[in-house]
Homo-oligomer: A and B are copies of this chain.
Amino acid sequence: MQEDAVDESSEPKRRPGGRSARVYDAVVDATLAILLEHGYHGLTIRAVARTAGVAETTVYRRWPTPNHLTAAALLELAERDNPLPETGSLEGDLRALLGQIVALLNRPEVLRVVRSAAALDHRDDESVLAGKNAFFSSRFASATSLVGRAVERQEIPPDTDADLLIETLVAPAYMRALLSNRPLDQTFIEDSLRVALASVGRRCAD
């Protein structure tokens, strides 16, 4: 990795990472606002730059396409509204995690962005591939630490496949939201939780 010189180039440095961090926040906030209000098709680098109050070239340097912006914005949304739970038990953590995801998918403006992501064919477009990979790699990596804590508490075996467990937990929520139109409610959350726990040989406590 190169040093953080590119983003700092045009203005005097105030403190290490200061301007860079402010630009990052402004651009990601602007992207998220545009995505949630207008959807993916309203997202242009020009619109983001204007809303963020930065030069278009500043956006291009770090986020060469709208897909890179979308990935960054979805990660920001996930970190804000879907933080990694830490309830003290695997069952509690998984229930909280799925509850947050279901709450997000029940927000029409969020679902619209997820629909846009699903519509984009990553096989033909490197920037879509990069964006989707960045989002899901980051989310699955976070979830690994949730599973790791359950291993430390000896709730599940050390060789538990963390990615598979999280995928088992969350995939039906995406399928219902995007395709099958089945309800995303509390019964669904408990059903999914039971299936996910069964996949690692556990049952719900209650």
Binding site for B on A (CB under 8 A): 108, 111-112, 114-123, 129, 132-133, 136, 140, 161, 163-164, 167-168, 170-172, 174-175, 178-182, 191, 194-195, 198-199, 201
Contacts and interface: CB of A to CB of B under 8 A. Distances in A.
Contact of A175 (B123, B170, B198): B170
Contact of A117 (B132, B174, B179, B182): B179
A40 to B, nearest CB: 9
A163 B167 CA distance: 18
Contacts of A163: 182
Most buried by B among A118, A121, A161: A118
* Chain A, interface SS category: helix
Contact of A132 (B116, B179, B194): B179
Contact of A118 (B108, B118, B140): B118
22 contacts: A108-B123, A114-B179, A115-B120, A115-B121, A117-B179, A118-B118, A118-B178, A118-B179, A129-B181, A136-B179, A136-B182, A161-B191, A164-B195, A167-B172, A167-B175, A168-B168, A171-B175, A174-B175, A174-B179, A195-B199, A198-B199, A198-B201
Contacts of A179: 114, 117-118, 132, 136, 174
A119 B178 CA distance: 7
A161 B182 CA distance: 14
Nearest to A178: B118
Contacts of A118: 115, 118-119, 178-179
A203 to B, nearest CB: 10
Contact of A136 (B112, B114, B180, B198): B180
Contacts of A161: 191
Contacts of A112: 121
A194 B168 CA distance: 11
Contact of A119 (B115, B132, B136, B140): B115
B181 A164 contact: no
